[in-house]
Amino acid sequence: MALFGLIGNDREMAATTYSGRESASDEAARKRREGHQRNATATYREGQKWEDDERERQDGRGRRRR
């Protein structure tokens, strides 16, 4: 017995009702990848700024002069 026609017709609904739409798991994976790209770029920039600041400090152009 199908409850309002919803039980047992998953494949049929996937082929008709949801055709052309991105699945929830594919959407979540895409968002994770996109988020990683944004975070990787920001992290790279932070690291580069730290490296530049550290070189300036070591070269004597920082706060304290030797």
DSSP reduced 3-state for 21: coil
Confidence class of residue 1 from pLDDT cuts 50, 70 and 90? very low
- Amino acid identity at 49: K
Confidence class of residue 48 from pLDDT cuts 50, 70 and 90? very high
Q: Is the pTM of this model over 0.75?
A: no
Residue 3: pLDDT over 90:
no
Residue 47: pLDDT over 80:
yes
**Which residue, 37, 59, 36, 56, is CA-closest to 48?**
56
**Which residue, 56, 58, 54, 57, is CA-closest to 46?**
54
pLDDT at 43: 86
The helix or strand, by DSSP H or E, that contains position 56, with its residue range, turns out to be helix 24-58
